[in-house]
Amino acid sequence: MRHVEVCQLWLQEKVRSGEVKVVKVGTDESVADSLTKYVGNEILKKHLRETSQLELEGRHRLAPATEC
């Protein structure tokens, strides 16, 4: 990886020294998962609350119209 400078490898150093621990985070707890894969309604609402977002009804005024 020639394009990665040594100064950008600080995280690897922290993990190697034990200062940072890498752990698996399940979908129920990972707020990023609600933006990258399907999650159920309750988990989505939980992630929205945890990131201070509001759940609103309807469409934005600039969104294209849909046929329903």
Give percent of the chain above pLDDT 70.
91
Q: pLDDT of 26-44, one tens digit each? A: 988 998 888 889 999 999 9
- What DSSP assignment string belongs to 10-63? HHHHHHHHTSS------TTT-TTHHHHS---HHHHHHHHHHTT-----S--TTS
Q: What is the mean pLDDT of residues 9-18?
A: 91
Q: What is the mean pLDDT of residues 51-60?
A: 90
**Number of domains, the chain:** 1
Residue 1 has pLDDT above 60, yes or no: no
Query: Domain range holding 38?
Result: 24-52
Would you state the pLDDT for residue 67?
82
Would you state the pLDDT for residue 55?
86
Q: Is residue 37 in a domain?
A: yes
Q: Is residue 8 in a domain?
A: no
Q: Is residue 36 in a domain?
A: yes
